[in-house]
Amino acid sequence: MTDPAARSVVGIFAVLALIALWAVIVASFSAQIAQLWFPLQLLIYIAAGIAWIFPAMPIMRWIVTGRWRRK
């Protein structure tokens, strides 16, 4: 797929799907996380809120350059 507009559309949907999957995974652990000390819960949710960015980076790179990996 070489068309940048098409890559943008596909990439946006891929990132949205990744975020939805990540939310389901994190939510599946919510009962266990809720039993922890509140500051620890806060740190876990902050880390989970940031961690989805790392698997999304190759998708973002593909949207912009058309390549999955850096040169």
Could you report the per-residue pLDDT of 7-43, keeping only the tens digit for each? 999 999 999 999 999 999 999 999 999 999 999 999 9
Distance separating alpha carbons of residues 47 and 71, to the nearest angstrom: 29
Distance separating alpha carbons of residues 43 and 16, to the nearest angstrom: 24
Angle between helices 38-51 and 4-28 (to 10 degrees): 160
Q: pTM for this one?
A: 0.84
Pull the structure tokens for residue 71.
């040169």
How do the domains of the chain map onto residue ranges? Answer: 4-65
Pull the structure tokens for residue 62.
């593909």
